[in-house]
Structure 1
Amino acid sequence: MGKQRITVCLPPVRPDGLKKAIGQAMAPFYYDREDRPHPDWVGEWSYWFVSGAGCLFDVMPGHEDDPRLVRYDDWTAPEDLPPFRCHGGPRAILDLDTARATVARRAGGTWTAYHTFADRYPPVLPFHHFAERARPLEPEHAREAAVASFRSQPLIQAIEADPFLEARFTSDPALHFDEDLETHVARHVAAVLSTPALLTLDGRWVEGGGPDYEQMFNAYLDGLPGDTMVVRVLYHS
């Protein structure tokens, strides 16, 4: 049980009817709904709030004063959002591309920097390679042996010697950078907008993780009609 966010997609709705519309869309997934589809049915939420803190949307330039933008957060204390940020609004006036473009540039730069640096050393293997190789050992010795073998690699030693490099390239770089540039950038870009769950226009509650879910999430938002309301919601599960 805990709190997480869902992105709720709704037909066009006036600002004064937004919470009612969200409630109607969320209602089929309420824990204590009376008309349960079957005896073993389990709902998704016990309470919810309009809240996009940590996953705010950007606003398309020129639309900062549109009254349909959602600028309040029911979960946190009152906030003074900058004009170009919001918790939701019509799909057409949400700027979904700027944040993705920023992450694409950053991810591409990091991938290039890593491979430029790594080319100075022998090829590196990810930690799970050594963990698998150490599996036949006694459990109390297996991880110790895997860690020692993993850290003996010259590239890992060079990264561990520099906190800046470890922060930028991670402690297990082969796991994160052993893919081509296009795949690496696409994976990071897909993670920018997604929330752990998505409530679609046709009433499907979709949860997931990893690249496939994140790519689906982005494609779904990109394909929505421009007047669709897209709102971040925090719910207790």
Structure 2
Amino acid sequence: MAGIRVVACLPAAARDDLVTALGQALAPFEMYANPQWRSIWDWWAIRGGSDGSGFSARPGFHDSTELIHDDPRHDGTSLPSLPGMCAGGPRGLLDLSDFRALSKRVTTIRARAGDPWDLWHRLAPEHPPMLPWSTFRARHLEDPRGYPTERMWADYTTQPLLQAFVADPFSQIPELGDISWLNHQIGLVAALDGDRTDFVRRVTARIRQPDLLTLDGWWIEDGVSPVHALCEDGETCPHMDDGWHYQDDIGGYLDALADDVLLIKLKCHG
């Protein structure tokens, strides 16, 4: 993947030799030196202050010498930070309001993730059973002209159970954004008919969180996939409970760190 952005967390002492400390923290995830599971980047640089993707400094700290700013370009061109911005610094000097908002949103979504499944199973006994999509598709394939795609789709989506489900506010999770279940009803019905835990997993997988490199060597890739620096793959890693814990609430993890922990925005290529 190109253009990976990750928030790297380092202990305060790393500031004495930041480049070395970052290199050591990132090394387990270098693309050509590690197993496929940990193959993430092939180039990295401190970035965020100059393009607005980094951190805002808290009021009163905009000129602090403790803030971290972007590395120069490969040709040596400097990349000064935008006013009030930086690529990182001690957590206590950075405005984490966006991460707090993310944490609140994630918590709300997780609390509501099972509501559509519960609604579906409350409504199901009150309506005729849903005919599967395959029934309508088979009819269309047998007689495409007599039973066109538009009719196939209409007959499937106007079934009473699906209509009752879509009309109920509990079928939606507004915090996920503009997602209409009607745009995904085939896969949706299959998920609703399945296991509740699996349905909740599918819902929460829609939550977009940033990449994170934790103090203890977890890279939460794409905000959802924990990758451990010390293990060969996810199937044999005995520490996955820790990884899933970090993945649950990246904003909350960052907000709970000590004030002197360094948070640094990196741009990686992979």
CA displacement at 1:136 relative to structure 2: 2.8
What's the counterpart of residue 251 of structure 2? 218
What is the aligned residue count?
Answer: 182
Structure 2 unmatched runs, 5+: 106-130, 142-148, 167-176, 184-203, 226-244
CA gap 1:100/1:217 in 2 versus in 1, 3 angstroms: closer
Q: Contact 2:99 / 2:255 at 8 angstroms: preserved in 1?
A: no
Aligned to 2:212: 198
Q: Report the residue type matching 1:205 in the other structure.
A: W
Q: How much does 1:10 deviate?
A: 0.6
In structure 2, the residue matched to 1:47 is 43
Structure 1 counterpart of 2:224, which letter? G
The residue aligned with 1:227 is 260
How far the C-alpha of 1:3 sits from its partner, in A, is 2.7
Q: Is the 8 A contact 1:59 1:94 kept in 2?
A: yes
Q: TM-score, normalised to structure 1's length?
A: 0.56
Ranges of 4+ aligned residues in structure 1 off by more than 3 Å: 13-16, 73-77, 98-105, 132-135, 139-151, 212-215
Three-state SS of the structure 1 residue aligned to 2:136 is coil
Q: Equivalent residue for 1:66?
A: 64
Q: Is the 8 A contact 2:102 2:251 kept in 1?
A: no
Amino acid corresponding to residue 172 of structure 1 in structure 2: S
Deviations 1:27-68 (A, max 9, x none): 1221233xx5x7x76522111121234632221111111112
TM-score by length of 2: 0.50
> Aligned partners of 1:141 and 1:205: how far apart in 2?
47
Q: CA, structure 1 residues 14+171, in 2 after alignment: closer, same or farther (shift >3 Å)?
A: closer
Supply the distance in 2 between the matched residues of 1:221 and 1:100 (Cα, whole angstroms): 9
Residue in 1 that maps onto 2:10: 10
The SS at the match of 2:89 is strand
Q: What pairs with 1:82-231 in structure 2 (closer than 5 Å)?
A: 82-83=83-84, 85-97=85-97, 100=100, 134-138=133-137, 144=150, 145-146=152-153, 170=178, 172=180, 194-195=209-210, 197-207=211-221, 208-209=223-224, 215-231=248-264
Equivalent residue for 1:27? 27
Distance in 2 of aligned mates of 1:103 and 1:172: 23
Shift of 1:8: 0.5
The 1:220–1:101 alpha-carbon spacing in structure 2 relative to 1, beyond 3 Å, is closer
1:134–1:22 CA distance, 2 compared to 1 (3 A):
same
CA distance in 2, matches of 1:140, 1:236: 48
CA drift at 1:200: 1.0
Q: Residues 158-196 of structure 1: CA distance to partner in whole angstroms, max 9, x if unpaired? A: xxxxxxxxxxx8472789xxxxxxxxxxx9xx85xx41x
